[in-house]
Amino acid sequence: MRIKILGCSGGVGPGLRTTSLLIDDELLIDAGTGVGDLALSQMRRIRHVVLTHSHLDHVCGLAFMADNLFDLIDEPITVHASETTLQVVQEHIFNWKIWPDFSKLPTPKNPLLRWQTMPVNTPLDVGNGRSVLSFDVLHTVPGVGVAVQCKTGIFAFSGDTYATDLLWDALNALPRLDMLMIEIAFPDEQGELAETSRHFTPSLLGRELAKLRHKPQLLLTHHKPGTEGLIQRECTEALAGWDYHHLEAGEIFML
Ligand SMILES: [Zn+2]
Ligand SMILES: [Zn+2]
């Protein structure tokens, strides 16, 4: 499994892209602004998109990707998400007012996008021996994390979440966990904001990780622009003993 980090920032700025991961060139997990760095030929190869939740920093790239691919693909791209997330994205983005409804274009019979409800805790076959399992997490809107399983291991992504046993119970139920991409949006001094916006801080994540029975490599994501240095300094203490890495857009990991 080849995991390319298209975007891993909690916002925009020079060199910063919001959440999006490309797996084996065919599976896109979240569609933040990082999608905008893909060439047209790379966008054409994507067959499945999984959305963890409806927030703009995770879905906006889908709108532009669909527009780019108009008339260029033979089969619809399947967009997998919870029922609520799909409803919100259809009602508030692909509604003919903010953006065209690409599940009806170029023609209703042969559209660009196909919406597919993704029930939690139910493995989803995304081809080539890979499957995706989603599980509930705790954010300001209904959100999920995902575990992507292939022959060589399991990679999981927390999505956007605050501390919750839903996350740890789901991860502990996996037979193994090789890599965990997990969010830290705010430094400790913004703990109140992190709690109201349902995001992790370094020390909160450090405490919560005691509940994880696996020892994966941690890939840290979603730092808000301007807080990266402080979060990195706080992690040296908060995540002591863990093998961790602060992600940057463009990085590639093999599993
Ligand atoms: Zn969010
Ligand atoms: Zn986010």
- The string of pLDDT tens digits covering residues 118-137 is 999 999 999 889 999 999 99
User: Cα angle vertex 25, ends 151, 184, to 5°?
Assistant: 80
Q: Determine contact, residues 18/12, Cβ cutoff 8 Å.
A: yes
Q: Determine contact, residues 143/157, Cβ cutoff 8 Å.
A: no
**Omega of the bond prior to 225 within 30 degrees of 0, cis?**
no
Among the bound ligands, the one closest to the CA of 138: 1
Using the mean position of ligand 2's atoms as its centre, give its distance from the Cα of residue 110 in Å: 31
The dihedral through the CA atoms of 123, 124, 128, 130 has a sign that is: negative
Range 60-73 average pLDDT: 95
Tokens at 120, concatenated? 């939690």
Range 161-186 average pLDDT: 98
Using the mean position of ligand 2's atoms as its centre, give its distance from the Cα of residue 31 in Å: 11
pTM: 0.98
DSSP state of 53: -
Using the mean position of ligand 1's atoms as its centre, give its distance from the Cα of residue 4 in Å: 20
Q: What is the CATH number of domain 2-254?
A: 3.60.15.10
Using the mean position of ligand 2's atoms as its centre, give its distance from the Cα of residue 211 in Å: 23
Calpha distance 213→196 (Å, rounded): 28
Using the mean position of ligand 1's atoms as its centre, give its distance from the Cα of residue 1 in Å: 26
Using the mean position of ligand 2's atoms as its centre, give its distance from the Cα of residue 106 in Å: 30
Q: Determine contact, residues 51/80, Cβ cutoff 8 Å.
A: yes
Q: Determine contact, residues 48/154, Cβ cutoff 8 Å.
A: no
For 76-122, what is each residue's pLDDT tens digit?
999 999 999 999 999 999 999 999 999 999 999 999 999 999 999 99
For 224-237, what is each residue's pLDDT tens digit?
999 999 999 999 99
Please give the C-alpha separations between residue 11 and each of 7, 179, 214, in angstroms, as whole numbers. 10, 23, 30
Using the mean position of ligand 2's atoms as its centre, give its distance from the Cα of residue 117 in Å: 21
Q: Any idea where the domains of the chain sit in the sequence?
A: 2-254
Using the mean position of ligand 1's atoms as its centre, give its distance from the Cα of residue 160 in Å: 5
Among the bound ligands, the one closest to the CA of 184: 2
- pLDDT tier for residue 62 given thresholds of 50, 70 and 90: very high
Among the bound ligands, the one closest to the CA of 17: 2
For ligand 1, a single-atom ion, the residues with CB < 5 A are 55, 160
Using the mean position of ligand 1's atoms as its centre, give its distance from the Cα of residue 99 in Å: 21
Range 4-31 average pLDDT: 98
Using the mean position of ligand 1's atoms as its centre, give its distance from the Cα of residue 145 in Å: 12
Using the mean position of ligand 2's atoms as its centre, give its distance from the Cα of residue 75 in Å: 29
Spell out where 42-143 has E strands.
Answer: 48-50, 77-81, 113-117, 124-125, 131-136
pLDDT recorded at residue 102: 98
Using the mean position of ligand 2's atoms as its centre, give its distance from the Cα of residue 30 in Å: 10
pLDDT recorded at residue 71: 85
Range 29-41 average pLDDT: 98
Using the mean position of ligand 1's atoms as its centre, give its distance from the Cα of residue 41 in Å: 29
Using the mean position of ligand 2's atoms as its centre, give its distance from the Cα of residue 108 in Å: 31
Largest CA distance in the chain: 56
**Residue spans of alpha helices (H) in the chain:** 40-45, 56-68, 83-92, 165-172, 191-196, 202-208, 228-238
Query: Pick from 142, 163, 141, 145: which is nearest to 211 by CA?
Result: 163
> Is residue 12 over pLDDT 90?
yes
